[in-house]
Amino acid sequence: MTTIVRNLQLVRDRITTACFAANRNPATVRLLAVSKTFGADAVADAASDGQRAFGENYIAEGVEKILALRTQAGMPALEWHCIGPVQSNKTRVVAEHFDWVQSVDRLKIAQRLSEQRPPDLPPLQICLQVNVDGGANKSGLPPDEVLALAREVAQLPRLVLRGFMSIPEPAIDFIAACAVHARAKAIFDEINASGVLPTRMDTLSMGMTGDLEAAIHAGSTMVRVGTAIFGDR
């Protein structure tokens, strides 16, 4: 058993334990393995243990891995999430290679992704990035701007609005972490309940290596874990 496979099993155990503590079904929380700065071999190692969804912050690095693994003999189909900032000059390559984009916070970027998504590929799955705690060093929409962008993005062809992603500043303890994640969940629930979108959102991507338990307690449906799987960068 490799270190990555062992780490994956430990992370899955953490998710299961956190779900039971929150009276949730572990099947309601997906694991996104964040493979940024690690090579295709590390992704292949995780894939050998059944991990299928991978997140990349750096677009060029991610595309290199996507192309390398797509042609590797015996490699199962993988699901690739862009979780880093997307500039206008990178939308085409993102639209052509990734399955999800979790970091949309401007209508212009969403429009370009929609226009540039190849017609032979399934629609691009989209999460809006929400700056739920106003962190000065974090990208994302202020909470009071989320609804307006969600309504616009939900109307774009070649895109499917799945939900929100958030990366709050580190909290001082579990209770504080739960509270900040709960803010994102409240926005998510409020917009879903409003009925203004054509379909309900189903994805709340929040929680990483250090705070996945708090995020699951607050209602996360997808945790993005890198360090606890692949090691320190």
pLDDT (average), residues 149-157: 98
- pLDDT value for 137: 61
Q: Please state, rounded to an integer, the average pLDDT across all residues of the chain.
A: 96
Amino acid found at 210: G
- pLDDT value for 126: 98
d(CA 114, CA 108): 10
Question: Is residue 9 within a helix (H) or strand (E), and if so which, with residue range?
Answer: helix 3-21
Q: Judge whether residue 74 has pLDDT over 90.
A: no
pLDDT (average), residues 174-200: 96
Of 17, 9, 51, the residue nearest 34 (C-alpha)? 51
The structural domains of the chain, ordered by start, are 3-230 (3.20.20.10)
- pLDDT value for 139: 82
**Partner residues linked to 79 by β-bridges:** 53
Q: Judge whether residue 68 has pLDDT over 90.
A: yes
- pLDDT value for 124: 98
Of 69, 123, 120, the residue nearest 100 (C-alpha)? 123
Confirm whether pTM is higher than 0.85.
Answer: yes
pLDDT (average), residues 81-90: 97
pLDDT exceeding 90 applies to what percent of the chain? Answer: 94
Ordered DSSP codes for 154-180: HT-TTEEEEEEE--PPPPSSHHHHHHH
- pLDDT value for 227: 97
- pLDDT value for 233: 80
- pLDDT value for 136: 66
1-46, pLDDT tens digit by residue?
799 999 999 999 999 999 999 999 999 999 999 999 999 999 999 9
Ordered DSSP codes for 42-85: HHHHHHTTT--EEEESSHHHHHHHHHHHHTSTTPPP-EEEE-S-
Which tokens go with 144?
A: 């009071």
pLDDT (average), residues 195-200: 95
pLDDT (average), residues 201-227: 98
97-150, pLDDT tens digit by residue?
999 999 999 999 999 999 999 999 999 999 999 999 876 667 899 999 999 999
